[in-house]
Amino acid sequence: MPSTPVLNSPKYRRQKKNSGSDLAFVEMAGVRYYLGVYNSPESQNAYHRKVAEWIESGRTLLAPASQDVVTVVELAARYWEHAKVYYRKQDGTPTSEQDVYKQVLRHLKKLYGSLRVVEFGPKALKTIRQAMIDTGTLNRKTVNAYIGRVKAIFKWGVEQEIVSPSIWHGLQAVGGLRRGRTNASEPDRVLPVAQTHIDAIEAHVSRQVWALIQLQLFTGARAGEIVTMKATKIDTSGKIWLYEPVDHKTSHHGHDRTIYIGPRGQEIIAPFLA
């Protein structure tokens, strides 16, 4: 049974996620402290210790956990809470990066979840990389991208002062996989679709969908930028119309993007504006 909390103290709580973790935590002054595997003796002992320290300190915010005792699964859990807030579009919906980090965290926790962060080094990172290759589903470029995100997790841990800077610096020694020098598969080349194949679907889609397809061809815009296009965002005052999407691939970097719509694109849009 879960540990019984002290009267009027923060509760011993459970966080069970689809990513495979089953952790206990206690929340104090808005800060979440992970205790270990839910319902384990270690997590219950950690809970009582945290509560006792909290009461002894006059119910004030506790100092961050010592770097010597933080485990990889705790770092992963804390980073996931950060990712759920950080990787969001302006409308509040999650970006695809959340799904990517969910996959990366699953690999990290599966092999080294119980390991203390101070014991994680380049060999451990290379072991995770080989495990990714061994799945047979990830190509060389994807594996390199995933390993880069593992490094980013530890870098974030340094910012939070739960990972020693020397740990993150050590991980930088692991370079990316090179073409022809690894048993990881190469990604398939992404080739342009033949125009005849595009034309063949016109009879099978709605008027609106066909307009979206044509507008992509005439502007070079991404699908996500076209489907969110609004008439109020299109400047039709000039010979070339201008469209500035609010949300685009580099908007979180503070970059602006302008899509130029020439005569052929204007012919596609005009009936919908009318």
> For 35-50, what is each residue's pLDDT tens digit?
888 899 988 988 988 8
User: How does residue 61 score in pLDDT terms, banded at 50, 70 and 90?
Assistant: low
Name which of 157, 177, 176, 175 is nearest 166 in CA terms.
157
Q: How far is CA 109 from the centre of its chain?
A: 15
pLDDT tens-digit series, residues 225-242 = 888 888 888 999 999 999
**274 falls in which pLDDT band (50, 70, 90)?**
confident
Mean pLDDT of 208-227: 91
Helix locations, the chain, DSSP H? 41-56, 72-86, 96-112, 122-134, 140-159, 165-171, 195-199, 207-219, 223-227, 263-273
What CATH number does the domain located at 72-171 have? 1.10.150
Instruction: Over range 182-201, report the average pLDDT.
Output: 91
> pLDDT at position 182, please?
93
Domain boundaries, given as residue ranges, for the chain:
1-63, 72-171, 195-273
Q: Which residues pair with 116 in a beta bridge?
A: 71
Q: What percent of the chain has pLDDT above 70? A: 87
pLDDT tens digits, residue range 150-167?
999 999 999 888 899 999
Task: Read off the pLDDT of each residue in 94-113 and give the average, rounded to a whole number.
Answer: 94
pLDDT above 90 for 124: yes
Q: What 3-state DSSP class applies to 187?
A: coil
The model's pTM: 0.65
